[in-house]
Amino acid sequence: MVRFIGSADLPGFCVKYFVFGNPKDGYGIRILSRDGNRADRYVSRRLTEVLSLARMLMRCVVFPENLCEILEDLLFEAQGVDK
């Protein structure tokens, strides 16, 4: 399954956001830019969580080059700190 979430189309660039995957392997986010850069990252087995995250990334206009770093930061925050 690949679902188009939307695009951020501003002067000089266009970035498209997709959610891909299946229940067995999990779901991920794909970001494509007009200049050919692409990033694919699996995020979660919960489709609703991935759809919500993809919409948030689209609103903030995240580029393919930054997807990995942002997901790492979010994963760190989700795990919390051991005390």
14-72 pLDDT, tens per residue?
999 999 999 999 999 999 999 899 999 999 999 999 999 999 999 999 999 999 999 99
- For residues 71 and 6, give the distance between their C-alpha atoms in angstroms, rounded to a whole number: 19
The pTM score is 0.88
HSE-up of 71 (CA within 13 Å, CB side)? 20
